[in-house]
Amino acid sequence: MCSMTLSSFHVESSSSDGKPSASQFRALGAAARNAFFKYDTPRLVSVHSVSVGLLNRVVQISIIAYVVGFALIYEKGYQQTDTLESTVTTKVKGLVVASGSGHEWISRVWDTADYVVPPLENGAFFVTTNAVVTPNQQHGTCPESPIIANGKCLNHTECPVDVPVISGNGIRTGICNNLTSTCDIFGWCPTEVDILPEEPVLKGTENLTVLVKNYIVFPRFHTKRQSISLTANSSRYFATCLYHPETDPLCPVFRLGDIVSFSGERYEELVHLGAIIGIIIEWNCNLDYDIALCLPKYTFRRIDDRLDETSKGWNFRYADYWTDAAGEERRTLMKVYGIRFVFYVSGQAGKFSIVPFLTNIGAGLALLHVVTFFCDFFLLHVVKFKQQYSDHKFETVSGYPTVKTTDSVTIAADLAMK
């Protein structure tokens, strides 16, 4: 390096009154002027050394391999990218027979309108597999359910009037029912008996199928895709095809039992208490190629914790209301268990753009300057004749640039390491 350095100067002591002297001001001014009007320029030093040359080429090749192989090719650094916007609609089909557990009205054929509750969800759908049914409820007075701990009593004083039963089915009437040892309540009667049947109410739900329609758009590239149009445009195909990751990975029709199996779970273990299964759809598209190659990839996993004993599975309640011949409002209370299938759609598209391409090339060229740092550090601190290199590397020129110096210096010795 050639550089212009500060000249040494002598600072006189301050005057007797403590104020800086004139010579001190001049010295400070000269120092500031020299610091401001300073310029460093690189000096070429050619070093003929096997060890230094090998280090130079190894670092160069490593940087070039990283920029070209990883940043440009593997990470597609030459492309501009965009994330997708998506929506999913579903259509579940199939019939199942329900076992009524003593209720003849429930022993019937259930179709989509019966077991898909609610009928429409945003990015998900629910299929009923088990249920606790309390039919023909109406407003009135009846004993609280024996399984409700807060509703038990021994005398009337334990049933204060108009006080709700915690986690119960109504408000207390002030009477302790001697037959059930529970408080009489006012609410929907008879009360729900929340005891799961030994066998699932709905059998055969694993054979139900769902048609998944996934619509995506990459706004930056004005590109739209949909999963249902990726296969033959034939209603006969959709009526017969069934998704399989190896034999038919693009079919948008899925068997529920297969979805659970692909997630690593057993369907028969989930139907009693329910579960949450994630359906992951990935779209990773290279728009430099044919748009027909932009295809979805499906994966599946269980979302809820199978080891959670506090609130295991998935369930909720809903009711069907009607008015009987006497004009009384009645309802059938349903506590349903089942599998909730949730969709997660992600992905991105990439397309060649000159801006990211030149940006990565420029970053790679700038990174090549690291070679100089490694080699200079090696020559200045590692090799045996580091002082010889330092003497040729750095030179100070003071005053006006009238001193002549050689443009380059060649060190022909093979510098050995310590």
Strands 253-255 and 209-218, how do they pair?
A: antiparallel
Nearest-10 crossing angle of helices 370-381, 386-393 = 130
Instruction: Report the candidate in 406, 388, 407 with the shortest Cα–Cα distance to residue 47.
Output: 388
108 within 8 A of 369, measured Cβ to Cβ:
no
DSSP state of 311: S
Supply angle C-alpha 139, 140, 142, rounded to 5.
125
183 within 8 A of 173, measured Cβ to Cβ:
yes
Separation in Å, CA 280 to CA 88, 267, 344: 11, 19, 5
Q: What residues are designated binding site for ATP? A: 91-93, 209, 315-317, 335
Rg value, the chain, Cα: 40
**Cis status, amide bond into 249, omega within 30 of 0:** no
Q: Which tokens is 242 given?
A: 């069934």
Rounded distance between C-alpha atoms, residue 338 and residue 205, angstroms: 10
Q: Give me the torsion for CA of 264, 270, 274, 277, rounded to 10°.
A: 10
Separation in Å, CA 4 to CA 1, 11, 372, 393, 402: 10, 21, 22, 14, 13
Q: What residues are designated binding site? A: 91-93, 209, 315-317, 335
